[in-house]
Structure 1
């Protein structure tokens, strides 16, 4: 994940985990195979149609987006039309045509200028580590040939493939992308992370399709997780995506329902000072939604914005002084204990949560390279994030639950 985006997320986001004992997504062996055509025309082992029938429906398994607001799909017999509302923050919508391998559909004139991608994608390059868990959940990691910020990858499976050369690192830890390395990976598609980059135009000049994955712009946790279906559209694994997401949605709603009627909601502040300012997430943001669903009272819940804004440290200290909980002050694991609070800024020790040791950070799953699973699995598994948060807020309701991402800062 790009450091600048990480810092922005570090300010905007706030939480991830809570609730009832979650179900695990279905075993890949039970439904991980690509969707099969319902006509008599066969799809070969390479995923391509052997004899094209213009009347056939080559996508019997389909997805719809019910929570995500930034992406839609229309199915046709041998191609899918995907529209991403905001492929890059502030940009106009883009439409992509995903054409089944081995077919030659007659596309309408209004799709003449749309980027085309042959599916199932065999060689995908991603710019962000947040996109990797979707490939894992869909059992489609063999389709990955490149990834940005490889040193920050948490997934052991993908780290192994990076080490053996199966997946190329196409950028460094700063998030800078290398066009030549991307081109050498011979991708069918480059999946961007919803942030502008001059590399995108250069890739298009090389006839490499660039698709915008802007899941991070979704303001709801389930909306963000539902982008797993976007990846499924590329890999023809819609059946698997539907099963996976249904499990995530069910578990998330179970946690939310369990704390919906709690008598008391602990107040919470998130983040920490950075370069003289403290970013607060808006009351309509992704982070605020997680906190509310976890049975917490966010101190800026009345803020009508859905982004983040910098606040003077003095103002934040005043607003947060009596908050019961303090979350997401550290994402790196560098805060070993509460002495790190005073080392950051002695004034922080005036916060009630700091004095009482109620500081929790998502640092349980960090590897030696700095990869944090909170930025990988945490994106597609908000049910696990919510369960962690609900356990922090209401430990008596989740005595059998184990933390996945969060840890209490030691005294």
Structure 2
């Protein structure tokens, strides 16, 4: 499911811990360390630390607040930190665990074949990470048997029977909405979510700061260019072209790379369903086509729709895909690691469109389509 959502450029929980209204008239100061992400917050309020999930899934109308504590005896509906083990449900979580050197605490994952990381794949092969089925229909018996301290969930809505069953058996789930962030740095900042849960806040802050610095530096480099190339993205799916909307994180990459993304001025943070005729009318002469779904080569593209050959970017082989960069069992490296390394994604786009700016850089996620 996560793969389909990402391909179409469109990736939680039902138990909430409501903040109690302060009965004291004395004002309690609040501190937050979150700068770019809009879907979560970490608040220090008085002597309490809280994790707030503000956007657990699409169109969520409620937030979830969790009290974090390191005490042995904890009230109900709190999270005891640091976590001793965990089950995660998206490959983006794998990359963040590894950046914090926490992969040894992962005990289960749905659809392990999608994991591309060599390090975590070895732990799967060695029997340390259980296969749990699919994210939306996990093997609850195995999950309950594992008894993880927490499930970090992913979902399209707040109605998940697996998480409900887990909750009844004392296993808490916290939704991670990193995939809903509209900016590249907003997605990367979710590493702080993992940092606070595992007692690695300083490490997470340091890692994010380093990524942010590199991202802003290369963005500044691209801003020097005055001749901005035109860019097209997306692809057809059942005769509908899904184009990244102008406020989406993909469009923000193109903007920060100082390109002329032809749908940059549209509204919306997801994808826009368009007809092939309207896309061809606007982007037939686009210089670059960056991101074309799961297509690995031009031949396969033409098998699905002959319209593709009408684009100049197709004719001149200026199409770049992330679908060829795979792990041992077919998991795509881009899906797993790009949210944690937006600086490298931005470098890729700049290398493609303005190669003279990064003469020694080699593409990380994308490859020129043959």
TM-score by length of structure 2 reads 0.89
Cα displacement (A) at 1:76? 6.0
Matched positions, count: 347
Alignment correspondent of 1:193 = 154
Q: Deviations over 1:300-335 (max 9, x none)?
A: 11101112121122222222211111111143xx52
Could you tell me which of 193, 205, 208 is aligned with 1:245? 208
Cα displacement (A) at 1:396? 0.9
Alignment correspondent of 2:18 = none
Distance 1:123 1:255 in 2: 37
- Given that 1:364 and 1:404 are in contact with CA atoms closer than 8 Å, whether structure 2 keeps it comes out as no
When structure 1 is superposed on structure 2, of 364-373 and 206-215 the one drifting more is 364-373
Structure 1 portions without partners, runs of 5+? 14-61
- Given that 2:137 and 2:162 are in contact with CA atoms closer than 8 Å, whether structure 1 keeps it comes out as no
Name the Cα RMSD after superposition. 1.9
- Given that 1:67 and 1:223 are in contact with CA atoms closer than 8 Å, whether structure 2 keeps it comes out as yes
Q: Deviations over 1:62-84 (max 9, x none)?
A: 97111111111123687521111
Matching of residue 161 in structure 1 with residue 123 in structure 2: yes
Matching of residue 367 in structure 1 with residue 327 in structure 2: yes
TM-score by length of structure 1 reads 0.80
Cα displacement (A) at 1:365? 2.9
- Given that 2:320 and 2:367 are in contact with CA atoms closer than 8 Å, whether structure 1 keeps it comes out as yes
Could you tell me which of 300, 308, 315 is aligned with 1:355? 315
Distance 1:407 1:354 in 2: 14
Distance 2:368 2:244 in 1: 21
Distance 2:335 2:47 in 1: 35
Distance 1:101 1:153 in 2: 34
Distance 1:11 1:282 in 2: 12
Distance 2:162 2:240 in 1: 31
Q: Which has the higher contact order (CA 8 A, sep 6+)?
A: 1
Distance 1:160 1:348 in 2: 40
Distance 1:179 1:312 in 2: 42
Cα displacement (A) at 1:194? 4.2
Q: Deviations over 1:6-35 (max 9, x none)?
A: 22322227xxxxxxxxxxxxxxxxxxxxxx
When structure 1 is superposed on structure 2, of 264-273 and 195-204 the one drifting more is 195-204
Moved over 4 A (4+): 76-79
Distance 2:347 2:232 in 1: 18
Structure 2 portions without partners, runs of 5+? 11-30
Could you tell me which of 52, 62, 76 is aligned with 1:83? 52
Distance 1:260 1:181 in 2: 51
Alignment correspondent of 2:367 = 407
Where does 1:6-405 land on structure 2 (aligned, <5 Å)? 6-12=3-9, 64-75=33-44, 80-91=49-60, 92-102=62-72, 104=73, 115-172=77-134, 176-196=137-157, 197-331=160-294, 335-336=296-297, 338-363=298-323, 365-405=325-365
Alignment correspondent of 1:21 = none
